[in-house]
Amino acid sequence: MLHINNLRASIDDKQILKGINLEVKPGEVHAIMGPNGSGKSTLSSVIAGREGYEVSGEVLFNGNDLLEMAPEVRAWEGIFLAFQYPVEIPGVSNTNFMRTCINEQRKYKGLPEMDASTFLRTMREKAELVELDPNLMKRSVNQGFSGGEKKRNEIFQLAMLEPKLAILDETDSGLDIDALRIVSNGVNKLRNKDNAFVVITHYQRLLDYIVPDFVHVLMNGQIVKSGTKELAYELEEKGYDWLKTELKATV
Amino acid sequence: MSTLAPANTLTDRLTVFANQLAGDPLEAMRRSGAADFARLGLPHTELEDWKYTNFKGLQQLDALAPLPILDEAAIDLNKYRIAGIDAYELVFINGRFAGTLSSRFESEKRFISSLALARNLRTGLLLEHLGMYAQQQNEGLTALNTALAPDGFVIHLAKNEVCERPVVVYHISTGTKERGWVNQRNLVVAEAGSQLTLIEKYISDSPIFDNVVTEVVVGSNADVAHYKLQTRYGDAWHVGTTRVEQSRDSRYYNATISWSGELVRNNLQTRHNGTGCETHYFGLYLLDHDNLIDNHTLVDHAQPHCNSHELYKGIVGPAGKAVFNGKVMVRPDAQKTDAYQSNANILLADSGTINTKPELEIFADDVKCSHGATIGQLDLNELFYLKARGIGEEKARTILLTAFAGEVIEAIRIDALREDLLAQLMDELHRMQITF
């Protein structure tokens, strides 16, 4: 589904990603862990299409060149980024925002607009999935939302848009244990054999709830180690310094 | 300067006009206006108040005669009506009252009509109020208007008269290719406990120069909502001065919406003459070509325990020039004043210009006053968030701009008008986007 080959990205002449290779297949969950400043968020931004990066290498999504696509086309093709810091959009209600997103996607696929009653029913169902107060739907996107509500709103949007590949960028950061459980439950219910998740996190704790098939460690712009979920426990126990030392030893 | 003065200068016209004044009940007012105009002349950019408002060619307008008088039957009012509003309608074509198109109402308690008719029907009212408030002694165009404006609307509500239907005034300019003057003089007197909603709609397909002066008297505990719409104004030039006098416990609400016109200058001034007054100003301006929209506002807090709230927003595209000057005066007696002012702008292109100047002059010590002025661009994070969710660049920009401007439109209290303007706003912003 996602094929990343020697991906490099720099911003203002500062090299951040230094040759990433990653293969994600349908039905898989990949966790990407790493210390601050290792390039985790840059990786998610580059896949979603944020401007401002100098990018080289290859990213194929279902065989198509992702780097050539505008961000909205990537979304229509089935890429979803759950933002680390969801953006507040004053004056645009959650409901109108979601309706526009869904109908733009349907237009791209040659489908007619979703009728109002189906839309409202779907919205109610998906909001329940992440236990999001239906009253928040009338309010401006993320404005005046608590940190937890913002993150749950991201997963709600994910549920509405049903992407093929979802990237969760530190969705667990700043969540208390109850909110973490709600968000994780939502994600687990959305998992199926046809979609895939890339979960970027700072904390191993999340992986107790969203169990990954693979764990990758990103350090200094490269994936330095890949393994199964046991790698996450090892990291939690020994810290990133252990890995740095081990890597030096192998050089 | 040529020694041969043109035969039809403003000064000449004022002389001719003055010779016909004998017996006119407004003679004294006309003569004082003419005297002030003779002293002040037309405005120019060397005056502090006109520094950013350059009416190039205004001085050459001196020689131009007023616009032709047109056949009322040729005007189709349906083109301009706001759907869903049952209103009294007053129509002015090239500055003249169009009686056959208008629904005048003249009873003892409620007078909704024209200045020309009021001269005989409401002489006492005019003598008591007309020309008493607009600052003609320091503004040449106001003085000129006082001296010779032939017509305008006059609305009078007697004590406790609640006018449940809004009054919509259509100022239509048409039928000429050369720029010409319309001087229009309006008066609103809402006596104690009365209630009025007034919508002024300026419409033009001619290169008009509208010089409009409106005096509004809001009696104690009276309520006036006043809308000024410049949404289909073509290449018009406009200097409109609205001067409001509020008595104690009165409420005045104004929304000024401008997204057309080549040169537009709106002066909006309110003075509080009693305690407990409440004033709301809302403004929205959109500029997308080589045009200028200028809002000069004043709230004069002269009495204690009054509130004012002011929100102006603007979006400026290529070569557009917006000016906002918001003066809030808090005089020594005006303790417990609560005044808030905000002017927020989005600049869409480097070639656009915004001059914003909040002016707070506070001479009382127990007051709450705040102001903010911002000029920014579309927030790139917001834009990316929308795009990442599958909303294309153009649509995303339109959504964000509509949301920004929508805050002003949402404050409109007439449902039909709000819906009408919101729909137009989306179209207008979409059009602005694709002209890039």
pLDDT of residue A205: 86
Q: Report residue A246: phi and psi, to 5°.
A: -60, -40
The closest CB to that of B391, out of A49, A81, A104, belongs to A104
Nearest CA in chain A to B378: A89
- Cβ of A101 and B389 within 8 Å? yes
Work out the percent of chain B whose per-residue pLDDT is above 90.
75
**Overall average pLDDT of the B60-68 stretch:** 69
**Predicted confidence band at B243 (pLDDT cuts at 50, 70, 90)?**
very high
pLDDT tens, residue by residue, B206-234: 888 999 999 999 999 999 999 999 999 99
Distance from CA of B422 to the nearest CA of A (A): 13
pLDDT of residue A251: 54
Distance from CA of B387 to the nearest CA of A (A): 5
Distance from CA of B389 to the nearest CA of A (A): 6
pLDDT tens, residue by residue, B254-275: 999 999 999 999 999 999 999 9
pLDDT of residue B23: 84
> In the block, which residue shows the tokens 């309520």?
B223
Q: Residues in chain B whose beta carbon is closer than 8 A to a beta carbon of chain A? A: 379-382, 384-393, 395-396, 399-400, 402-404, 406-407
Among A116-120, B138-142, B316-320, B426-430, which stretch is predicted with the lowest mean pLDDT?
A: B426-430
- pLDDT above 70 (res A78): yes
CB atoms < 10 A from the CB of A217, how many?
A: 23
ipTM of the complex: 0.94
Under DSSP, the state recorded for B67 is P
> Would you call A100 an interface residue with chain B, using a CB distance cutoff of 8 Å?
yes
**Predicted confidence band at B436 (pLDDT cuts at 50, 70, 90)?**
very low
Q: Do the bridges between strand B263-272 and strand B237-246 make them parallel or antiparallel, or are there none, so unpaired?
A: parallel
The rounded distance, in Å, linking the Cα atoms of B403 and B397 is 10
- pLDDT above 50 (res A87): yes
A46: three-class secondary structure by DSSP: helix
pLDDT of residue B7: 46
DSSP letters, B281-299, are: EEEEEEE-SS-EEEEEEEE
Among A118-132, B53-67, B130-144, B360-374, which stretch is predicted with the lowest mean pLDDT?
A: B53-67
pLDDT of residue B62: 64
Distance from CA of B414 to the nearest CA of A (A): 19
Return residues 33-52 of A near B (CB < 8 Å).
48-51
> In the block, which residue shows the tokens 């929209």?
B293
pLDDT of residue B46: 87
pLDDT of residue B428: 87
Nearest CA in chain B to A106: B390
Distance from CA of A214 to the nearest CA of B (A): 26
Contacts of B390 in chain A (CB under 8 A): 72, 75-76, 101, 104-105, 108, 161
> In the block, which residue shows the tokens 């002349």?
B41
Nearest CA in chain B to A157: B389
pLDDT tens, residue by residue, B382-420: 999 999 999 999 899 999 999 999 899 989 999 999 999
Average pLDDT of chain A, as a whole number: 92
**Overall average pLDDT of the B124-139 stretch:** 94
The closest CB to that of B391, out of A49, A51, A101, belongs to A101
Contacts of A91 in chain B (CB under 8 A): 402-404, 406-407
pLDDT of residue B435: 54
- pLDDT above 60 (res B20): yes
- Cβ of B403 and A70 within 8 Å? no
**Predicted confidence band at B8 (pLDDT cuts at 50, 70, 90)?**
low
Q: Report residue A39: phi and psi, to 5°.
A: 115, 10
Distance from CA of B402 to the nearest CA of A (A): 8
**Overall average pLDDT of the B111-125 stretch:** 96
> For the packed helices B393-409 and B380-388, what is the interaxial angle rounded to 10 degrees?
120
- pLDDT above 80 (res B3): no
- pLDDT above 50 (res B200): yes
Under DSSP, the state recorded for B370 is E
Choose from A44, A46, A50, A72 for mutation: most chain B CBs within 10 A: A72
**Overall average pLDDT of the B146-152 stretch:** 93
**Predicted confidence band at B83 (pLDDT cuts at 50, 70, 90)?**
confident
Contacts of B395 in chain A (CB under 8 A): 100, 104
Closest by CA to A181, choosing from A160, A201, A151, A159, is A151
Q: What is the sign, positive or negative, of the torsion defined by CA atoms of B129, B130, B134, B135?
A: negative
More reliable by pLDDT, B432 or B134: B134
The rounded distance, in Å, linking the Cα atoms of B334 and B366 is 9
pTM: 0.88
- Cβ of B388 and A97 within 8 Å? no
> Would you call A92 an interface residue with chain B, using a CB distance cutoff of 8 Å?
yes
Work out the percent of chain A whose per-residue pLDDT is above 90.
70
pLDDT tens, residue by residue, A102-138: 999 999 999 999 999 999 999 999 999 989 988 888 8
Q: Could you give the dihedral angle defined by the CA atoms of residues B66, B68, B69 and B71, in that order, rounded to the nearest 10 degrees?
A: -160
Residue B203 and residue B168 in contact, taking contact as beta carbons nearer than 8 Å: no
> Would you call A195 an interface residue with chain B, using a CB distance cutoff of 8 Å?
no
Average pLDDT of chain B, as a whole number: 92
Contacts of A92 in chain B (CB under 8 A): 399-400, 403
Contacts of B386 in chain A (CB under 8 A): 89, 97
**Overall average pLDDT of the B190-198 stretch:** 98
- pLDDT above 80 (res B13): no
- Cβ of B387 and A89 within 8 Å? no
